[in-house]
Structure 1
């Protein structure tokens, strides 16, 4: 028996804080992200399930990732031919990283990145979205206000993806289309009726 049996496994340094785009035109491209509390990129298997739910092809759709973090969901959307993708995050470092990757991937014409609180962004934008990703830090709790603001920014038949540790109260006029679980994370795909 090895004396190292109970020692934690250490990943090679270049693989820490890195994920890859799993589908579409940018498939295989790597996204590095900063080490920050509350930033937990959606894992490959969960993204694969999500984009299966959405039908893989987002051609012509307008997408909002309100708590962008690593940018994985937004970059996956561009990779799958979304017409326009909006990424919002409050962190300066996160936003700089997202902008760097949009230049690196040569997708600046399809993506807009804002360093702004998501609720303030929704309150001021006139854009309407076909797909919205809501993957806030697990401690975030302003769901009632978020759903109220969001209902004015959705196109008919829009999908809203929610990734949480505990399911928030869903408004009565919204329905759960799909749901899943992975580790501590619960995933819901919603539509407003």
Structure 2
């Protein structure tokens, strides 16, 4: 007869044989997953770094472009300002020149009127600033002569040079003479004698050809 304990053992096998086993982990797949995550992280870091560098480059380029634009504008503004200043200076010079011309013209007009009121004629070469008129006088030599009163609307410290032709009754120039006055200013006049070569007693007249301030 069999031992009842042995039968019990056969009928109730050990729990080791019937225990549910836990599945083993697949370390190969786990390593692949980790590697994939690492690769994705590396790619993400690389993309982020590339984007950052590109952004920095764009910012740098933008700053450079901005600085260049500011410099260009400053140079343009400077050039425009210089042109405007030059134009203003030229305009001021033109206005000053015109004002001076107007002043001289007014001075000439006033001098002409004052001289004409006293019987003076304007010099043919002094542009309305030197005037003359014939006056009576005695020649200081035996040669024919003419006496002229010389007046200047401007100061002539070195005097006025005067020249005249002697003409025959028929209008032919038969002689020439000249002389220089002393220093003159608008408040003074001077009489000068112009001598001519002898003309054999033929009646003649004189004509002033030049009178200008020296």
TM-score category (smaller protein): under 0.3
Greater C-alpha Rg: 2
- TM-score, normalising length from structure 1? 0.23
More strand by share: 1
More helix by share: 2
